[in-house]
Structure 1
Amino acid sequence: MAQAQQFKIKELEAFTYKGVNRRGKKVDGEIKGTSIAEVKALLRQQGITPSGVKKKPKSLFGDGKKIKPVDIAIFTRQIATMLGAGVPLVQSIDLIANGADNKSLRTLMQKISVKVQAGLPLSETLREHPKYFDELYCDLVKSGEASGSLDQIFDRLAIYKEKAEALKSKIKKAMFYPVAVLVVAAIVTSILLIFVVPQFAEIFAGFGAELPAFTLFVLGISEMMQQYWWLVLAGIIATFFVIKKTYASNLKFRTWADGRIIKLPVIGSILNKAAVARYARTLSTTFAAGVPLIEALESAAGASGNEVYKNAILFIREEVSAGIQMHHAMKQTDQFPEMVISMVSIGEETGALDSMLAKVANIYEQEVDDAVDGLTALLEPMIMAVLGVVIGGLIIAMYLPIFQMGSVV
């Protein structure tokens, strides 16, 4: 208990100050400390006689940019490089903090540095920030501390994070194009229905003849959009947020949705390959770092990013803990390709499971990359085709009555 209290360290806060330096010149600025008394002592050490010190008010809109996963990946690579070069841990963290452009990241690094300097293990310090450092990250750092190979662990973590972010970027790219097609088509259609079609409606009003069914259908949609466009927009936004919230909070819905998504044409194939790559990369990284296979599988399940694969990996974990070989358990899930199962089988037989899984990850990451490039090339003409069908359909609907009048004459 006494040891736990020893590590209750106050976090650094920003203070503004005014004072006079050794030359008698008035100075002001900003400094970090844990209290006003400490800040005054720090200023005196710098040769500044403080006349006023107060806490810097926190911004209503936050304090700098958000820390993104890519920032953590860059931090991991930087600290791996510095530790590999023989730079002490605390000095490495301080150098990264001083060089960080992101103010939020700099503050986070400073907090970590203060606690590590006070004697708290780095893994325990990182656990205090689960938003940025997950269990897998902290467990690997802890194993590096125990084995004295923190530089090697951070190198593995850096590779893992860089690969994970690259894969995530590819998935976002794959999902972006179909969404872009739908959004562009919806915007163009809405503009035509709200602003262009009504002009034709005024012309048709003077015809005194019965309009074609297709034209009446388009005019009906146009009238609805003119009167209730705000309701349609609100409905789309509300539906999006309801689905997003339900997906995040409801396990059954998330499992159902993930199962349907991975069965979609083209996109489903990419997501399946990405899930296999993520599984292999996570398992390879943790197993190579000396984490027992059962724990490594649990980490892989948490990092899967898909409930279907998460359940499959947890099933594999249960089977392996019962003494079943991993490749047999993988086969029972019906989620992994035969090639992956065969390579895992070879890895188990030769005792090189981590390197074999790394090869699987490399293969499937490359396949995801190729599939995304192929999808991009396929969807570029598809965007033009969709827009052509939408705009062409509206033009035909508007000109049908004119064509009919021409044929009568």
Structure 2
Amino acid sequence: MAVFHYQGRNLDGSKVSGQVEAATVELASDALMAKGVIPTEIKLGKKDSAFEFDLSKFLTPAIPLEVLVIFCRQMYSLTKAGVPLLRSMRGLTQNCSNKQLKEALEEVTNELTNGRSLSSAMQMHPKVFSPLFVSMLSVGENTGRLDVALLQLANYYEQEVETRKRIKTAMRYPTFVIAFIVLALFILNVKVIPQFSSMFARFGVDLPLPTRILIATSEFFVNYWAFMLAAIFATLFAFRSWIQTSNGREKWDKFRLRMPIIGSVVNRAQLARFSRTFSLMLKAGVPLNQSLALSAEALDNRFLENRLLEMKSSIEAGSSISSTAINSRIFTPLVIQMIAVGEETGRIDELLVEVADFYDREVDYDLKTLTARIEPFLLVVVAGMVLVLALGIFLPMWGMLDAIKG
């Protein structure tokens, strides 16, 4: 959360000042009012200690989607059964096993006791409840259909869980192969090649080029491994710092969509997520421009997010959805056609669900065949390693045999 410095007065009229953590200025003002402080000035600032290091930010894991699915399902059942909201929240807080979610629910329950709505109370915890989650609950509260909103969120997160599981399953084999290749290279350079190098040095034979390359690589690895590790960590740190910038993050996310073999899979998965999220928001009654902004944020891709926000600005300026979708150049003809038909018939949410289901099937097929497409590349890498190693070791041995026979 952001840190805001404030000045104000207590209920007795005395002046007070300090700092408060909140997601927005409005939430900071609400938090101060709840404490009995009337703010006169609130401005964004930094924490008092310039060298304060919050280790919990790095050690606290993100809440698994499975936990959110269970929470939405339980909340839906209790709301559908007519159990009062405050009683439902207290019961779910007591039975919650995830520490981070439990702490957030405890604070949400306290805010509900003070008269705050459920969506505004959850908005104070953006690391636990996403803007999509909060907006859906806000619409459900305003329309009196909170149970429907919770059911839609549960179905949405279940679909996300299934997609992530398929991706993890497809990437397991290539990850293991690459890990074993790296391990084999380490053992060869540290243990195996130095033994052959000392043996060749004792015989004093002329070494062929592949052998000299292997020995030079091994000596560099053994003598400068600390510098190699430092260079790797420095490169990773520089890369992470670069992608944290807005320009770097957008370029990296654009590159992810253009990567060979897996780029098309990532692109289709992102389009499926956008279609499902956009349809979900429209079906719940969220305004079009807000639905587009929330769908862009849910993608977790800065390049696509910026293009969608440009679409939002064009739509607010009076352009149609289909024309802005064409100008964005991020959608396939199928998505554009469905958007155009849905815009004409007023059933854009239903057609986007069809698009999402289509792309989910495509992604599922691509993930099942991903291993078969990656295997030739991995075989070439392994075969190249074996060839270089065999030539580097056996060529000088054959030379030694010829020298002995001669």
Which range, TM-score by smaller chain? 0.7 to 0.9
Counterpart of 1:302?
Answer: 297
- Counterpart CA distance in 2 for 1:275 and 1:234 is 35
Q: Offset at 1:61?
A: 8.0
Matched residues in 1 for 2:217 and 2:271: separation?
45
Match of 1:135 in 2: 131
- One-letter amino acid of the counterpart of residue 362, structure 1: D
Asked if 1 retains the 8 angstrom alpha-carbon contact of 2:170 and 2:367, the reply is yes
Equivalence for 1:42: none
Aligned to 1:202: 198
Deviation, 1:65, is 7.2
CA contact under 8 A between 1:287 and 1:296: conserved in structure 2?
yes
**C-alpha spacing 1:237/1:174, structure 2 compared with 1 (3 Å):** farther
Matched, 1:113 2:113: no
Q: CA RMSD in A?
A: 2.7
* Distance of 1:320 and 1:106 partners within structure 2: 40
Number of residues paired by the alignment? Answer: 357
Q: Contact 2:205–2:399 (CA<8 Å) still a contact in 1?
A: no
Q: Which amino acid aligns with 2:96?
A: A
TM-score by length of 1: 0.79
Deviation at 1:254, TM superposition (A): 1.5
**Aligned match of 1:342 in 325, 334, 337?**
337
Matched position secondary structure for 2:258: coil
Q: Does 1:72 align with 2:68?
A: yes
Task: Return the match for 1:229 from 222, 225, 229.
Answer: 225
Equivalent-residue separation in structure 2 for 1:122 and 1:363 (angstroms):
35
Native 8 Å contact 1:67 1:105 kept in 2: no
Report how far residue 269 of structure 1 moved.
0.5
Select which of 151, 157, 163 maps to 1:161: 157
Asked whether the 8 Å contact 2:210–2:388 carries over to 1, the reply is no
Q: Does the aligned pair in 2 maintain the 1:65–1:102 contact within 8 Å?
A: no
Partner of 1:399: 394
Deviations 1:206-252 (Å, cap 9, x if unpaired)? 2222100111011000001111112212322331232123212x111
73, 85, 90: which one pairs with 1:89?
85
Report the CA distance between 1:362 and its aligned residue. Answer: 1.5
CA distance in 2, matches of 1:174, 1:311: 29
Is residue 271 of structure 1 aligned with residue 266 of structure 2?
A: yes
Q: 1:93 and 1:396, CA in 2 relative to 1: closer, same or farther beyond 3 A?
A: farther
Whether the 8 Å CA contact 1:193–1:221 is kept in 2: the answer is: yes
Choose the corresponding residue for 1:147, options 143, 149, 161.
143
Alpha-carbon distance between aligned partners in 2 of 1:350 and 1:61, rounded to the nearest angstrom:
50
Distance 2:330 2:56 in 1: 45
Q: Is the 8 A contact 1:175 1:267 kept in 2?
A: no
Q: Matches of 2:240 and 2:215 in 1, distance apart?
A: 33
Identity of aligned residues (%): 32
Q: Distance in 2 between matches of 1:89 and 1:381?
A: 56
What does 1:4-403 align with in structure 2 at a 5 Å threshold?
A: 4=30, 7-8=34-35, 66-70=61-65, 71-172=67-168, 178-248=174-244, 250-379=245-374, 383=378, 386-403=381-398
Cα distance, 1:166–1:245 mapped onto 2, change above 3 Å: farther
**SS of match in other structure, 1:262:** helix
